[in-house]
Structures are given as C-alpha cells and as structure tokens.
Amino acid sequence: MQGISSAEHRILLAAFRKFEYMSKIAGDKIGETEDVKTRKAMEELDLLYDKFQILFGELEKCTRDYELKKKSTRSIINKSIRKLMPAMQNENDTIN
C-alpha cells in the first residue's frame, strides 16, 4: 500500500504559507481567481491529508486487532487438534 508522505505534505504546507505571506504583501498581483484557486486546492489537499491520517490510524488498529485475533485463533485451533489427535489414533487402532 502506498501512503502519503508527511514530509512532502509539510513541505507543500510551508510553500502555501509562503504563498499566503507573499500574497498579503503583494496584494492583487496574481488575480483573485488564481488566489481563490490556490487556496481552495490547498484546503482540499489538507482535508484529504486529514482523512488519510484518520483512515491510516484505523488501518493500524485493525492490523493490530487482526494479529491478536490470529494468534488466539491459532492457539484455539492447535488446542482442538491436540484434543482430537488421541481420538483419531483410537479410531485408527480400532479399524486396524
């Protein structure tokens, strides 16, 4: 699974903050449409990043829960097999 790089997101966020700072100083040099487009894109990107972080946290929890359940299930299966082994041997002895 490919994740989202936190470092790359921080770099992009820093670039956006630089844009905001320069935009305040320069005023209307890039035009309102471009300014709105830039801010909207960064807002959407931030929302997706936040959503990714939440889902990734849930995925990690699910993975941990799965590993714990897998170990306990394996233990239960092995215990049941050990209990069944003598019965299977008795069946074989009876048949022979």
Tokens of 61: 């929890």
The 3-class SS string of 6-17 reads: HHHHHHHHHHHH
pTM for this entry: 0.71
Decide if 27 is inside a domain: yes
| DSSP classification of residue 43 | H
Name which of 16, 20, 19, 21 is nearest 46 in CA terms: 16
Decide if 78 is inside a domain: yes
Decide if 34 is inside a domain: yes
Helix or strand holding residue 92 (H, E): helix 32-95
Residue 40 lies in domain: 6-95
Q: What is the per-residue pLDDT for 87?
A: 83
Q: Write the pLDDT tens digit of every residue in 7-40.
A: 999 999 999 999 999 988 887 778 888 989 999 9
Q: Write the pLDDT tens digit of every residue in 65-85.
A: 999 999 999 999 999 999 999
Name which of 61, 57, 60, 21 is nearest 38 in CA terms: 21
Decide if 1 is inside a domain: no
Question: How many domains, in total, are found in the chain?
Answer: 1
